[in-house]
Amino acid sequence: MSRRLAVLVSGRGSNLQALLDAIAQQRLDAEIVGVFSDKADAHALQRVAAPLRWSADPKAFASRAGFDAELADAVQAVRPDWVVCAGYMRILGASFVARFEGRLLNIHPSLLPRYRGLHTHARALEAGDTEHGASVHFVVPELDAGTVIAQAPIPVLPGDTPETLAARLLPREHALLVAAVGLAASGRLAERGGQAFCDAQPLLKPLVLDSSGNLPPICP
């Protein structure tokens, strides 16, 4: 049975498109049942049919909790197996996270725990890093602090700028998200008590995406 995915977005939706392409090409056994945004003009919403789109302006709500509750109700209404933050730029509150605990994933453009938050490419260059990358992690209320499931490293090259580094990382970021969601959709991934499990084994360190865009077939 295809797993039902709800996807949260804020921007152009390239990670969403990577999931859509993988589903269309039968590389990912899943179905996107709703795309949710905090921005009505997010280009990502245009990547799916109108009945799958939901958006609301957080400024129209009296509190952050009020917006999160409305979003959570909308997400729950599509009965997702997994909720994937794919370029969603708001921090999710504790009540939202609790409602979807253990089935809430995020992709972040750094090798966590390095560089939580914004401007990760520039920060990696400023620090003189020789390696950069992307991470998929379980979501907790603290920003980009959940257990990391998998990562895709790339080298930092001489003369890199934040723009060139971001552009070179993006295809690997897409492949990483598809591979990690594939683990979830196939029933291989779980979280219990803040511990990630893969193939029923504790995940003691992040899986690393190989050059073909695959994660290890047997988790350590």
Binding residue ranges for (6R)-10-formyltetrahydrofolate: 64, 89-92, 106
Binding residue ranges: 13-15, 64, 89-92, 106
Amino acid at 42: A
Q: Which residues contact 121 (CB under 8 A, 6 or more apart)?
A: 109, 132, 162, 163, 165, 166, 169
> What is the rounded distance in angstroms from the CA atom of residue 81 to the CA atom of residue 32?
10
> What is the rounded distance in angstroms from the CA atom of residue 117 to the CA atom of residue 130?
20
105, containing H or E segment = strand 104-108
Q: Please count the other Cβ atoms lying within 10 Å of the Cβ belonging to residue 212.
A: 7
Single out the catalytic residue among 108, 121, 137, 174. Answer: 108
- Cis peptide, bond prior to residue 113, ω within 30 of zero: yes
Sign, CA torsion 13/87/207/218: negative
Q: Could you tell me if 64 and 93 are in contact, meaning their C-beta atoms sit under 8 angstroms apart? A: yes
Amino acid at 81: D
Q: Could you tell me if 189 and 198 are in contact, meaning their C-beta atoms sit under 8 angstroms apart? A: yes
Please say if 108 is a catalytic residue: yes
What are the residue numbers of the active site? 108
